[in-house]
């Protein structure tokens, strides 16, 4: 009798874990930014909105022609961020969608800004090139 209970218990746990992975869908972020060629772009979100613990979602390297492509999984609509020199770019993304974004002109932090503990990057909304009316996050 215990053997059947253990099998059913194991099966229920296995199915619940499996269905949680099924709910996550791929988000694709792509674009062309020749100013950033050779740079690594990291997209992250805050896993906790109180302590602002960063959670890396995905990263990509911009090739010689300026093209980049980054994919990661999300199970809900999230606000994502990326550090771009003097800018912190942000965007709301939905699972299962592809976003072609436009990055701002590249402006590196100056030596003084790097050494200044009070410097805060300007927060900007990243432009989406492939806008669709059904996309509610733009």
Residue owning tokens 């609509």: 77
Nearest alpha carbon to residue 101 among 53, 64, 135, 52: 135
CB 108 within 8 A of CB 99: no
Token representation of residue 62 = 């911009």
Question: How does DSSP classify residue 24?
Answer: -
How does residue 135 score in pLDDT terms, banded at 50, 70 and 90?
low
Number of domains in the chain: 1
Instruction: Look at residue 19 and tell me if it is in a domain.
Output: no
Which residue has better confidence, 3 or 39?
39
Q: Is residue 104 part of a domain?
A: yes
Residue whose structure tokens are 């896993």: 47
Residue 57 maps to a domain: yes
The mean pLDDT value for 12-33 works out to 74
Q: How far apart are CA 95 and CA 72, in angstroms?
A: 9
pLDDT digits (tens, 9 = 90+) for 99-130: 999 999 999 999 999 999 999 999 999 999 98
Residue 5 in any domain: the answer is: no
The 10s digit of each residue's pLDDT in 36-80 is 999 999 999 998 878 888 899 999 999 999 999 999 999 999 999
Domain that holds residue 118: 25-128
- Give the CATH number for residue 58: 2.60.40
């Amino acid at each position: 009798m215990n053997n059947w209970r253990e099998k059913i218990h194991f099966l229920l746990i296995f199915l619940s874990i499996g269905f949680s992975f099924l709910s996550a869908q791929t988000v694709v972020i792509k674009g062309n930014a020749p100013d950033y060629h050779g740079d690594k772009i990291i997209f992250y979100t805050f896993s906790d909105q109180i302590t602002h613990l960063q959670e890396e979602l995905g990263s990509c390297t911009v090739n010689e022609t300026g093209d980049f492509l980054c994919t990661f999984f999300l199970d809900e609509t999230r606000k994502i961020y990326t550090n771009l020199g003097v800018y912190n770019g942000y965007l709301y993304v939905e699972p299962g969608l592809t976003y072609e974004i436009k990055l701002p002109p590249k402006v590196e932090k100056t030596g003084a800004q790097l050494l200044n503990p009070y410097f805060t990057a300007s927060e900007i909304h990243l432009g989406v090139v492939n806008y669709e009316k059904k996309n509610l996050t733009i």
